Chain A
Amino acid sequence: MLKILKYSFFDLIRSRWSYVYLLFYLLLSFVLLFLNQDLSKAVITLMNVIIILVPLIGTIFGVMYYYNSKEFTELLLAQPVKRSSIFLGQYLGVALSLVMSLVLGLGIPFVLYGLFQSSAIWNFSLLLITGAMLTFIFTALAFNIALYNENKIKGFSYAILLWLFLAVIYDGLFLMSLIVFETYPLDKFTLIATTFNPIDLSRILILLKLDIAALLGYTGAVFQKFFGTNLGLFAALSTLMIWVILPVLNIARKAKKKDF
């Protein structure tokens, strides 16, 4: 598995798209820091960008890589290599190279602007952790989609649809259901519904940093407990972990049974 991981990883970091991705983050954070010297403000702005962009890039890259390297995968399958290690190796290769672009692209400018001397370092690590988690989650989801769909076009459209659903439509349905059932006690439902969407979970991590004052304006005891203590942070992070583990397990399961 490690060999395949290594191969995929180096294959990807030699590709043009990784550089474009890296350059994009470099440029984004340099411009942000140049316009606004305040590190913590820049972290907050980046958080808003990351929860939308990282899932999109992760999904597209994952699907694209799977379909592009399909012939190579079929070649590998003819060798005495475990199936799960081929696919997990490829998955980790893609996800790690994306995470590396993210970490370097955001890390270099922030370190140059004096991250280690500033108080924003915790928020910044939270930003990187959230970004990395989202990359792992959405690349895994993309691999799942690609494994289930032989047709490239279909796979791509499902991937885009998945992103659109989780980034926009889910929140719309969520909002509608909250308004329709407003006469019922909803705070437990609200918290549970957010756990079904990794983008919402990451957003909550940001809210905990940014809008805690407004969040505490709501009178529900469950909310108070969730947001007023560190419970919210830990719950959101651990649910994100589950979101990584489940799709990865499904990749391994599906890869074992699939006909090529």
Chain B
Amino acid sequence: MLQGYFKSILFIVFFFTGATSFYAQIEVCETCSFTSIKKAVAEARSGDTIHLKKGTYRENKIIIDKPLYLKGYDYPVIDGLNKADIINVFADSVRISGIKLINVGSSYTEDYAAIRVSKAKNFILEDLILEKIFFGIYLEKASDGIVRNNKILGDAVSEHNSGNGIQLWYSKRIIIKENLIQKVRDGIYLEFADHCVIEDNISKDNLRYGLHFMFSNDDAYAQNIFENNGAGVAVMFSKRIKMRANHFRYNWGTASYGLLLKEINDAEIVENIFEENTTGINIEGSNRVNYLKNTFKNNGWAVKVRGACYENKFLENNFLYNSFDVSYNSKLNNNLFLNNYWSSYTGYDLDEDGFGDVPYRPVKLFSYIVNRTPETIILMRSLFVDIIDFSEKVSPVFTPDNLVDKAPLMRKK
């Protein structure tokens, strides 16, 4: 124990003295001995810190192939001149902070990025501002890195010639925190990225998805805000994803979802808020997913179940003032709805245990009709529709008759 302390103290002393004496401090500015970042990087030795002073540097393809700390002061601007990647990181333990990167060239054959990290470990990318980008931060086969507190502001207009804000490809154990991502194609895109954590980010006004998972397992995302994205958030072909306390809102449009789940197994969706989306959650081919304590408020459809979904559990969620609470396109149901609060529940609780005595049927006949003939949506809230809904409620013919919440909550959680 004592020896452990001694070792760590020794390490700290060594580290600090090392940083000041062994490792060089290189300054780059318009009047310094180095005026080009590329040259400074080439001259630097492993572990050096490069201090980048205020100014505009017109450079691209800056290749960092040794452990370095590239630190900006007052947001120096690196202008990529619309040609290629701006910074390429090929070495472990690289840290980049406080820099503004602009003008990444767009291309139809190559994915140019403001910062590309390839096959590197233990990197930190923080306090960066990225503007006029194609891809923002591109991590390929990287691991154990941190991407935090960056502002990525794209100006994407159409999907085919725009890139993603933060893209992960075959990357593991990456932490993405407190970033703001706007107006790119996909805010954050994960492909074959496992064990990543995505927290406290804001991803909005993106052309396609705010956050997009593909073939990525064991990831977690929490406390993010996804707002006004072209198609919301998509989680596809992934296993064991944990989604907690995120805010999905204002995703409006025909193919727009708060959250789109496709081929998702064993996920946890807990304490999220879905507000004013055309569809809160669209579920397709997803099994053993637990939906706990989420709030669905003022959505067109709170939950749309498209088929091939088995053994999902919806427990203690709040369904508040949605046009449709749950929609099914078949008569088969293998999912459990229990102890949710439904704002349109009209039952009573005579024994006062907090649970309604009459089961609630969340699927209305009208939602079945709208599934079949979408134009009938125009008859929503008509007296006639209320009447047929009521008769269906009394004796279900078209909707799954075992789809009931046996003990709905009387008060919202």
Contact = CB atoms under 8 A, between A and B. Distances in A.
A216 interface: yes
B380 A171 contact: no
Interface string B250-265: 0011101000000000
Interface stretch (A85-93, A136-144, A204-212): A204-212
B10 interface: no
Contacts of B301: 214, 217
Interface in B375-398: 375-385, 387
Interface stretch (B56-64, B110-118, B274-282): B274-282
Contacts of B387: 168
Given A169-B384, A175-B384, A178-B373, 17 more contacts: A168-B384, A171-B385, A178-B375, A179-B369, A186-B375, A203-B382, A210-B381, A211-B300, A211-B323, A214-B299, A214-B380, A216-B252, A216-B254, A217-B377, A218-B377, A220-B374, A224-B254
Contacts of B278: 213-214, 216-217
Interface in A177-231: 178-179, 182, 186-187, 189-191, 194, 200, 203-204, 206-207, 210-220, 223-224
A57 interface: no
Contacts of B375: 178, 182, 186-187, 189-190, 218, 220, 223
A114 interface: no
27 contacts: A168-B384, A171-B379, A171-B382, A172-B384, A175-B385, A178-B376, A178-B379, A179-B372, A179-B373, A179-B376, A182-B375, A189-B375, A203-B381, A212-B252, A213-B278, A213-B298, A213-B299, A214-B278, A214-B377, A214-B380, A216-B278, A216-B300, A217-B254, A217-B279, A218-B374, A219-B374, A220-B375
A215 B385 contact: no
Contacts of B323: 210-211, 213-214
Contacts of A203: 381-382
Contacts of A172: 384
B381 A218 contact: no
Given A179-B372, A218-B377, A220-B375, A213 B277 contact: yes
Interface residues of B, number: 30
B324 interface: yes
Sort A-B residue pairs by CB-CB distance and give the 5 closest, nearest first.
A214-B300, A214-B323, A171-B384, A213-B300, A182-B373
A169 B301 CA distance: 27
Contacts of B382: 171, 200, 203
A204 B323 CA distance: 14
Contact of A207 (B253, B256, B381): B381
Interface residues of A, number: 36
B376 A175 contact: yes
B266 to A, nearest CB: 29
Given A174-B379, A179-B373, A217 B384 contact: no
Contacts of A48: 381
Contacts of A174: 379
A52 interface: yes
Contact of A211 (B372, B376, B381, B385): B381
Nearest to A187: B375
Nearest to B251: A213
A179 B366 CA distance: 12
Contacts of B378: 190-191, 194, 200, 204, 207
A210 B252 CA distance: 14
Interface string B283-301: 0000000000000001111
Contacts of A120: none
B372 A218 contact: no
In the complex, which of the residues A167, A186, A211, A220 has the most CB atoms of chain B within 10 Å of its own CB atom? A211
A179 B398 CA distance: 15
Interface in A87-106: none
Nearest to A167: B383
Contacts of A219: 254, 374
A34 to B, nearest CB: 19
Contact of B383 (A171, A191, A210, A224): A171
A84 to B, nearest CB: 35
Nearest to B387: A168
A178 to B, nearest CB: 5
B144 to A, nearest CB: 41
Nearest to A173: B384
Contacts of A207: 378, 380-381
A182 B369 CA distance: 11
A81 to B, nearest CB: 41
A43 B56 CA distance: 56
A219 B370 CA distance: 12
A219 B253 CA distance: 8
